[in-house]
Amino acid sequence: MRKILIVGAGQSGLQLALGLQDRGYEVTLMSNRTADEIRTGKVMSTQCMFATALGHERDLGLNFWESQAPRIEGLGVSVAGPDGSRPVDWVGRLDGYAQSVDQRVKMAGWMETFAERGGQLVIHGAAVSDLDYFARRYDLVLVSAGKGELVSMFGRDAARSPYREPQRALAVAYVHGLGPRPEHPDFHAVRCNLVPGVGEMFVMPTLTTTGPADILFWEGVPGGPLDVFQDIKNPADHLQVTLELMERFLPWEYDRARQVELTDAGGTLAGRYAPTVRNPVGELPSGGLVLGVADVVVANDPITGQGSNNAAKCAASYLDSILAHGDKPFDRDWMQATFDRYWGYAQHVTKWTNAMLAPPPEHVLNLIGAAGQLQPVANRFANGFDDPSDFEHWFFDPELAAAYLASVS
């Protein structure tokens, strides 16, 4: 029986651990927190997972909260005018529904499931020196903890990482009490509100530790009027500033949010990071090799909502590569090839996400505007969040964009 160590108990690490465990591998999972500490801690993300990523969980029988989480059937875009109007406002319908489950709920539940099924769970904040020792005892070591010292083992891939600094300041609040959306009261949708030159706000339904809720998520251009959350420590103050900015820039969203309350004391999050692609193989001081997983090696800004989706798809791709490798050694060539297989998909996410961080060119503005008049365009935008590779065919190139609009006009 092959022995595998996975460091990091997030979406990718746990999904991969449970998948390998189900196939008879001897898996050790290392986490710096217990399940209870995760469940009662602060929110970690804004995870909205689309149909393909949810399918990977379903394939492994890990869709424990599918009947409880709100079904997200659309994705809408509004553009704010300087006078508080919405010159652009549309909703695309998803071919398959999306869902958001608070990672405190999911990761704690999956971690307990892994232990109940006989997995070896080690609660320890691993350093490089720890991995140097442990690596000799395992056939393969995977690192899925995307922050801290371990990431330093994976060098930045400059050719694939155009940004050296964070491109957005992030601020999240989980709330109860958000009013209904009059534009589509019969179904749930993620709403993306664009404030030109200032940033974006995303509003999405979720399932959290206290039941169904909504996420209010600001992405602010650094140094701009939304970049004010860094020093706010009190959750109530965080929510108050969130609402004040909504009233100033997005009055239609503020009207729904006048009565909201935080879901719990841990329901806020703020931070920033530079989107980065890293080399996938890390070398330990003793010469041992480890393979980076998901946002350890491909960390995109959350402006396109791809973090959890990438993590699920990376875990599924790596699982297939491990199973197909049989009893052969997990050497450097295999590690590179395993990442390259995943990068064949992830490159499209990275290209699209980095493009969305920059001011949109004229042809993209035309596409966004056309989606308000042509439902097929709105629907194609929405479903691109599930399969970003589709944007290659109509989004990036002005001639392809014009040809596409002509074909649906």
Q: Are residues 15 and 146 in the same domain?
A: yes
In this structure, the strands spanning 88-98 and 72-79 are antiparallel
Which CATH number fits the domain that encloses residue 265? 3.30.9.40
Closest CA to 298 of 279, 322, 271, 323: 279
Q: Are residues 260 and 341 in the same domain?
A: no
Same domain, 231 and 321: no
In a domain, 393, yes or no: yes
pLDDT at position 337 is 98
- The total number of structural domains that make up the chain: 3
94 and 241 belong to one structural domain:
yes
Residue 23 near residue 160, CB atoms below 8 Å: no
Task: Give the model's pLDDT for residue 49.
Answer: 98
Last-in-domain residue among 356, 378, 394: 356
Q: Is residue 256 part of a domain?
A: yes
Q: Is there a contact between 114 and 219 (Cβ–Cβ < 8 Å)?
A: no
Averaged over successive runs of 10 residues, the pLDDT of the chain (409 residues) comes to 94 98 97 97 96 98 98 97 94 98 98 98 92 91 88 95 97 97 89 97 98 98 97 97 98 97 97 96 94 97 97 98 97 98 98 96 96 98 98 98 96
Q: In terms of domains, do 318 and 221 share one?
A: no
Instruction: Please give the pLDDT value at position 166.
Output: 97
Asked if the structure places residue 51 within a domain, the reply is no
Statement to judge: residues 178 and 265 lie in one domain: yes
Instruction: Look up the domain containing 172 and give its range.
Output: 72-100+165-271
Instruction: Please indicate, yes or no, if residue 260 is contained in any of the structural domains.
Output: yes
Question: What pLDDT is attached to residue 336?
Answer: 98
Say if 156 falls within a structural domain.
yes
Is 392 part of a structural domain of the chain?
A: yes
- Give pLDDT, residue 1: 80
Domain boundary among 236, 271, 306: 271
- Looking at residue 335, its pLDDT comes to 98
284: domain CATH number is 3.50.50.60
Task: Give CB contacts under 8 A, 24+ apart, made by 236-244.
Answer: 236/262, 238/171, 238/173, 238/268, 238/270, 239/173, 239/175, 239/268, 241/171, 242/171, 242/173, 242/216, 242/218
- Where is the domain boundary, 253, 271, 289? 271
Identify whether residues 186 and 89 lie together within a single domain.
yes
221 and 87 share one domain: yes
Residues 21 and 137 grouped into a single domain: yes
pLDDT tens profile 192-246: 999 999 999 999 999 999 999 999 999 999 999 999 999 999 999 999 999 999 9
Q: Are residues 190 and 297 in the same domain?
A: no
Rounded CA-CA distance 262/44 in Å is 15
The rounded distance, in Å, linking the Cα atoms of 310 and 377 is 24
For residue 62, the model assigns a pLDDT of 98
- Same domain? For 35 and 135 the reply is yes
Sign of the CA dihedral running 77, 220, 52, 18: negative
Residue 282 lies in a domain: yes
Nearest 5°: phi and psi at 385?
-70, -25
346 lies in some domain? yes
Whether residues 283 and 377 share a domain: the answer is: no
The candidate with the shortest Cα–Cα distance to 208, out of 105, 109, 72, 111, is 105
- Give residue 246's pLDDT: 98
Per-residue pLDDT, 402: 97
pLDDT at 79: 96
